[in-house]
């Protein structure tokens, strides 16, 4: 009986089941294709980077993409040194870094500097920007002060200027005049000397500055190329892409940046 019922059941229901089967199949295939298409399109949409070891700030904020993109990409790579002085009428748009110190920085790069300092503070560090933008006049005053000191030590005028230039750029030639350089020290140790290198603030900056578009501008092994003694506290904004290249390859800006054409 069971066998007969089974047989009758199969013969009666089979065409109907086939219709149902092919109807469902006909619906499922396009639906699957649409789902796959939607998934594939979602994969190629620009979106935030996957969360990883690198800080989210510089990469995930579309408005902050600068290096290598568009006509404004080169401003942050401008080489400023004794052979590439800034024009006399250099007048960058500036913003105050910290109202307490009153130090200023190029407005276009300030948010990167702030992000870097904020990240340090979140880790319990105490960074202090003791010197940002300098006007031509203030750079001249600092340079002359160093020349005077050397003259008092018995150097001739020419020698005194050479000595001063080892530590302070002549007016027009300092990166601080560009508005893109910052001397960052530890609030616990504000001496601009070799002890700065031993602070946790410098250890952090040397390891992470490139993630925010900054480089250690005067490395220990590049004195001959930069013309400036090792300064573990002096950081220069160049944009994230250039900063990562420069720091990972152990270069200095003289080796990386082309001289400005304008
Ligand atoms: Zn400096």
Contact 193, 130 (CB under 8 A): no
Nearest-angstrom CA–CA distance, 77 and 242: 8
* Range picked from 17-21, 71-75, 196-200 for highest mean pLDDT: 196-200
Q: Which of 231, 240, 254, 255 is catalytic?
A: 231
Name 128's bridge partners.
185
**3-class secondary structure for the chain?**
CHHHHHHHHHHHHHHHHHHHHHHHHHHHHHHHHHHHHHHHHHHHCCCCCCCCCCCHHHHHCHHHCCCCCCHHHHHHHCCCECCECCCCCCCCCEEECCCCCCCEEECCCHHHHHHHHHHHHHCCCCEEEEECCCCHHHHHHHHHHHHHHHHHCCCCHHHHHHHHHHHCCCCCCCHHHCCCEEEEEECCECCCCHHHHHCHHHHHHHHHHHHHCEEECCCHHHHHHHCCCCCCCEEEECCHHHHHHHHHHCCCHHHHCCCCCC
The mean per-residue pLDDT over the stretch 151-160 comes to 96
Query: pTM above the 0.75 mark?
Result: no
| Residues around ligand 1, an ion, CB closer than 5 A | 183, 234
Ligand 1: centre distance to CA 175 (Å): 7
Nearest-angstrom CA–CA distance, 59 and 40: 23
* Per-residue model confidence (pLDDT) at position 160: 96
Ligand 1: centre distance to CA 72 (Å): 25
The mean per-residue pLDDT over the stretch 130-140 comes to 93
Give backbone dihedrals phi and psi of 93, rounded to 5 degrees, phi first. Answer: -80, 120
Q: Is 231 a catalytic residue?
A: yes
Which tokens sit at 64?
A: 């902050």
Domain 57-134+174-256 has CATH 3.30.360.10: no
> Parallel, antiparallel, or unpaired: how do β-strands 181-186 and 127-131 relate?
antiparallel
pLDDT(218) > 80:
yes
Ligand 1: centre distance to CA 216 (Å): 10
Which tokens sit at 25?
A: 């199949």
The mean per-residue pLDDT over the stretch 188-213 comes to 96
Which tokens sit at 245?
A: 């290249």
**Predicted confidence band of residue 51 (pLDDT cuts 50, 70, 90):** very low
Ligand 1: centre distance to CA 181 (Å): 7
**Predicted confidence band of residue 12 (pLDDT cuts 50, 70, 90):** very low
Ligand 1: centre distance to CA 51 (Å): 34
Share of the chain above pLDDT 90, in %: 62
The widest CA-to-CA distance across the chain, in whole angstroms, is: 124
Better pLDDT: 181 or 68: 181
Nearest-angstrom CA–CA distance, 26 and 261: 65
Mean pLDDT computed over every residue of the chain: 79
């Amino acid at each position: 009986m069971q066998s007969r019922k089974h047989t009758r059941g199969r013969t009666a229901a089979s065409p109907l089941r086939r219709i149902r089967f092919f109807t469902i199949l006909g619906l499922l295939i396009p639906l699957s294709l649409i789902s796959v298409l939607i998934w594939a399109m979602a994969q190629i949409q620009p979106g935030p980077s996957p969360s990883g070891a690198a800080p989210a700030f510089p990469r995930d904020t579309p408005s902050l993409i600068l290096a290598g993109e568009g006509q404004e990409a080169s401003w942050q790579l401008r080489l400023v040194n004794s052979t590439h002085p800034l024009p006399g009428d250099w007048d960058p748009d500036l913003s105050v870094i910290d109202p307490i110190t009153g130090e200023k920085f190029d407005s276009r790069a300030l948010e990167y500097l702030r992000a870097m300092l904020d990240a340090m503070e979140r880790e319990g560090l105490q960074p202090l920007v003791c010197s940002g933008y300098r006007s031509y006049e203030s750079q001249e005053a600092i340079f002359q002060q160093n020349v005077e000191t050397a003259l008092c030590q018995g150097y001739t005028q020419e020698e005194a200027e050479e000595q001063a230039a080892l530590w302070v750029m002549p007016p027009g030639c300092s990166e601080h005049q560009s508005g893109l350089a910052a001397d960052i020290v530890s609030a616990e140790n504000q001496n601009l000397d070799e002890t700065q290198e031993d602070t946790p603030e410098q250890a952090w900056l040397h390891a992470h500055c490139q993630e925010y578009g900054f480089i250690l501008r005067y490395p220990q092994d590049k004195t001959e190329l930069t013309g400036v003694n090792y300064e573990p506290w002096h950081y220069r904004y160049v944009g994230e892409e250039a900063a990562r290249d420069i720091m990972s390859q152990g270069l200095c800006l003289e080796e990386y940046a082309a001289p400005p054409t304008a």
